[in-house]
Amino acid sequence: MMKIVSLGEIVVEIMATEINQPLSETGLFSGPFPSGAPAIFIDQVAKLGVDCSIISAVGNDGFGDINLKRLRKDGVDIEGISVLEDEVTGSAFVTYHSNGDRDFIFNISKAACGHLSLENANLDVLSGCTHLHIMGSSLINQNIVDLCLTTIDIVKNNQGKVSFDPNIRKELLNDNMKASLTKILESTDIYMPSEAEVTVLSSFDSDDAAIAEYFSHFKVSEIVLKQGSKGATVFTPNSTSTIAAFLVDEIDPTGAGDCFGGAYIACRVKGMNIDESLSIAAQCGARSVTFKGPMEGTSTLEELLDFFQ
């Protein structure tokens, strides 16, 4: 029996329809789209057929409903999502620039998912959990950090494993958050940074030295480096596996890392080896960028076969 649980924000994403459209001017937007890194991750896990839940919170509103409906339809157990009557569901407004950068306006810390805590979280869904996934973007206050550390203890005490995607957006990083990220890294088995994040939690400035430090000092067993349209690389203490990105027409890059990550962990939990897992994950990441909306491009194996034929 295997079960994957993720923890953290569920939000809607509302996207500017024009490239370079400032968020400070009136303009057209599309959405709401179901979103939130841990939600996209777990939706991708469900689509690959692994038992899964997410510990999160939404408000009793349309933005919460669109997420609950999508996650349930795709096979995620939604029992771990607390509906907080006095809060609204989180949101992220995003605009894309022609150089590939993105600007966000988040309503997360004051929204339902920012009020997630040991008081209102449903930890019953950790029963039978063999793998917990944490995202750095979720660690926005001490209540959520405490909740993460408690869930890590529960899962580790049951011989489960922990994966961790630092997912550090420049708009959200502060010193407190860095200390929390480091604490999570101390319990991490599979670390999943993006290229720009490799050295963020290391005392070294070079990628090679940082990776060596994660293996020796932090006892990580696998490092999955996400390199966007260049592909991905998995390091273990004694091996390196690389995959090039599949060539696709990118429409919306948001969510690629979460689809890739959910697929990689689902495959590893199913017992697939690193190379097989990398291949499915890279396919999921590539297919996801061909859809507008962060959770619109999660894939089943059948959808991957159709798409890459």
With CA atoms as reference, report the closest residue to 298 among 90, 91, 79, 74.
Answer: 74
Kindly state whether residue 44 participates in binding Mg ion, applying the rule CB under 5 A.
Answer: no
In whole angstroms, the minimum distance from the beta carbon of 192 to ligand ATP comes to: 8
Residues contacting Mg ion: total by CB under 5 A = 3
User: CB under 6 A: which stretch of 41-49, 50-58, 152-160, 253-261 binds ligand ATP?
Assistant: 253-261
Chain centroid to CA 233 = 18
DSSP line for 70-97: HHHHHT-B-TTEEEETTS--EEEEEEE-
In whole angstroms, the minimum distance from the beta carbon of 260 to Mg ion comes to: 9
**At 155, is the secondary structure helix, strand, or coil?**
helix
User: CB under 5 A: which stretch of 84-92, 153-161, 191-199, 274-282 binds Mg ion?
Assistant: 191-199
Looking at the Cβ atoms of 115 and 226, the one nearer to ligand ATP is 226
**At 93, is the secondary structure helix, strand, or coil?**
strand
Per DSSP, the chain holds a count of helices (H) and strands (E) of 8, 13
Find the farthest-apart pair of alpha carbons in the chain and give their distance in angstroms, rounded.
54
In this chain, which residue has its C-beta nearest to ligand ATP? Answer: 257
Give the N- to C-terminal CA distance of the chain in Å, as an integer: 32
Q: Compose the 158-197 pattern: x for residues touching ligand ATP by CB under 6 A, - for all others.
A: ---------x--------------------------x---
- Which token pair is 189? 């088995």
Question: Among residues 286, 293, 298, 304, which is the contact residue for ligand ATP, using CB under 6 A?
Answer: 286
Kindly state whether residue 232 participates in binding ligand ATP, applying the rule CB under 6 A.
Answer: yes
User: CB under 6 A: which stretch of 11-19, 119-127, 138-146, 282-290 binds ligand ATP?
Assistant: 282-290
C-alpha distances in angstroms, 238 versus 146, 177, 211, 234? 34, 31, 12, 11
Q: Is the dihedral of CA 1, 136, 165, 10 positive or negative?
A: positive
Between CA 53 and CA 7 the distance in angstroms is: 9
- Which token pair is 129? 């959990």
How many other C-beta atoms lie within 10 A of the C-beta of residue 132? Answer: 27
286 binds, among ligand ATP, Mg ion, none (CB under 5 to 8 A by kind): ligand ATP
Residues contacting ligand ATP: total by CB under 6 A = 23
User: CB under 5 A: which stretch of 4-12, 40-48, 181-189, 192-200 binds Mg ion?
Assistant: 192-200
Kindly state whether residue 233 participates in binding ligand ATP, applying the rule CB under 6 A.
Answer: no
Chain centroid to CA 287 = 16
In this chain, which residue has its C-beta nearest to Mg ion? Answer: 257
User: CB under 6 A: which stretch of 47-55, 245-253, 262-270, 297-305 binds ligand ATP?
Assistant: 245-253
Between CA 308 and CA 123 the distance in angstroms is: 39
For Mg ion, the binding residues in 106-165 under the rule CB under 5 A are: none
Kindly state whether residue 246 participates in binding ligand ATP, applying the rule CB under 6 A.
Answer: yes
Question: Among residues 6, 44, 141, 167, which is the contact residue for Mg ion, using CB under 5 A?
Answer: 167
Which stretches of the chain bind Mg ion, using CB under 5 A? Answer: 167, 194, 257
Which stretches of the chain bind ligand ATP, using CB under 6 A? Answer: 167, 194, 226-229, 231-232, 245-246, 248, 250, 253-258, 260, 282, 285-286, 289
